[in-house]
Structure 1
Amino acid sequence: MERKRVGIVIFDDVEVLDFCGPFEVFSVTRINTERRREEPSPFEVVLVAEHDKTIVTTGGMRVLPDTTFAQCPPLDILLVPGGWGTRKEMHNPALLSFVTERAAQVETLTSVCTGALVLGNAGLLDGLRATTHWRSLDWMQELFPKVTVDSVSQVVEQGKVLTSAGISAGIDMALIVVQRYCGEEVARATARHMEYPFPESSVRRVPLLPTT
């Protein structure tokens, strides 16, 4: 298959597993697992940030982006992760402009956790079902009344748009994207290589606690 370029947005106080989990999935995928060391992944992954400077994640990990919003090459897949930083970034005009512009160009638009709040504030989830971290479900519904917030699904697929629940759910979402592009056999082999359970259903892995 033609190699697909995945752009993962990063910003200060991004949740580490929100972007590292999908990064791992896309980077370790192989069409032929017997030639893992000889052949590259069918996905090229680039980390994209507003500025060419070190990003400090939640927990203090320091990460250097590969490119900036202004210099980012064409993308096939765009992924917006979450984390505490989305409280600020969902109002960042530069990020909203970049995501809106690229959303119209990419084949697949995805978010992990509260990355959905960025997509929501850009108007990219209006009229769709979507999900986010369980702690932010009510907030998301309050902020975006045109979005049908799904509290029972681990990953919500709405055409080219995929949103996922919190943190580790981004791995499930990325495996589903791999399945879309490369088929179930390759996606299952990727999960097996990672020693991670393949998402057999879209049901939320950690059910919400009862409110009463």
Structure 2
Amino acid sequence: MAKQSTDVAILVFPGVELLDFTGPYEALSACRLDATRRREEPSPFRPQLVAASLEPVACANGPRFLPDTTFADCTAPHILLVPGGWGVRKPLDDTALLAWIRKIGAKARTVAGVCTGSMLLGKAGLLEGRRATTHWRSLDWMRASYPGVTVVDDAHVVEDGHVLTSAGISAGIDLGLHLVARYYGEDTARATAAHLEYRFSQDNKRRVSLSPVKSS
């Protein structure tokens, strides 16, 4: 179980889906290692919104957010989290952005994609040979675009090694809680879910698809 603070870089771009990144952001920031000291202690996760510049970023459904830092200044997070949304199509052709995702993804301990953010991970080459999922409307798009990826239809969260992907929009909360469990244990994830008044996805095994254990 990790003890130090965990830095999380959350990519944002014009047209990003609001809940794709605020859902996991809330789950991570609501985490406490001691639930009885919620007011006294901060989350062990340190999420930051990362964008091409510090200019406001408009979400697909209207709200505008100020990024915390830029690609140039975000070089070594523990977790890279990539959301999706209608605006994902333009970044799919952004070679500089894809290069940043590829570079940071190669360094990060954990890479996570929410909704069609998984398409960006696929375009950056981070899903090749892995199992992954995305929004249900985009499953066929993922299959056609990345034949080297085994697309999972029936899970909200898919874990393959250090790469996690989730289904669409609200499934990002499941992914956020799965990250809490991965780094700080299932009890901490359950306490976080209880605080959020959200069902912990491990209680419904069909919602989470884990990699099979490989024999040595």
Which of 98, 101, 109 is the matching residue for 2:100? 98
- For residue 179 of structure 2, what is the aligned residue in structure 1? 177
Q: Which amino acid aligns with 2:33?
A: I
- For residue 43 of structure 2, what is the aligned residue in structure 1? 41
Partner of 2:72, secondary structure, is coil
- For residue 125 of structure 1, what is the aligned residue in structure 2? 127
**C-alpha displacement at 1:14, in angstroms?**
0.3
Partner of 1:197, secondary structure, is coil
TM-score with structure 2 setting the length: 0.93
Name the structure where helix makes up a greater proportion of residues: 2
- For residue 83 of structure 2, what is the aligned residue in structure 1? 81
**C-alpha displacement at 1:110, in angstroms?**
0.2
- For residue 63 of structure 1, what is the aligned residue in structure 2? 65
Partner of 1:70, secondary structure, is helix
- Pairing of 1:113-152 with structure 2 (within 5 A): 113-152=115-154
- For residue 195 of structure 1, what is the aligned residue in structure 2? 197
**C-alpha displacement at 1:50, in angstroms?**
1.0
CA distance in structure 1 between the aligned counterparts of 2:207 and 2:186, rounded to whole angstroms = 20
Which of 106, 109, 112 is the matching residue for 1:107? 109
- Pairing of 1:148-167 with structure 2 (within 5 A): 148-167=150-169
- Conserved in 1, the CA contact under 8 Å of 2:115 and 2:169? yes
Q: Structure 1 unaligned segments of length 5 or more: list them.
A: 206-212
**C-alpha displacement at 1:159, in angstroms?**
0.5
Q: Which amino acid aligns with 1:78?
A: L
Partner of 1:30, secondary structure, is coil
RMSD of Structure 2 on Structure 1 (CA): 1.1
- After superposition, the C-alpha distances for 1:104-151 in whole angstroms (9 at most, x for unaligned) are 111100000000000011111111110000000001100111111111
CA distance in structure 1 between the aligned counterparts of 2:83 and 2:11, rounded to whole angstroms = 7
- For residue 50 of structure 1, what is the aligned residue in structure 2? 52
Partner of 1:127, secondary structure, is coil
Partner of 2:112, secondary structure, is strand
CA distance in structure 1 between the aligned counterparts of 2:15 and 2:205, rounded to whole angstroms = 28
- Alignment length, in residue pairs? 205
- Conserved in 1, the CA contact under 8 Å of 2:133 and 2:166? yes
CA distance in structure 1 between the aligned counterparts of 2:15 and 2:50, rounded to whole angstroms = 15
CA distance in structure 2 between the aligned counterparts of 1:202 and 1:126, rounded to whole angstroms = 25
- For residue 32 of structure 1, what is the aligned residue in structure 2? 34
TM-score with structure 1 setting the length: 0.94
- Conserved in 1, the CA contact under 8 Å of 2:75 and 2:104? no
Which of 4, 7, 16 is the matching residue for 2:6? 4
Q: Which amino acid aligns with 1:102?
A: I
- Conserved in 2, the CA contact under 8 Å of 1:46 and 1:67? yes
- For residue 213 of structure 2, what is the aligned residue in structure 1? none
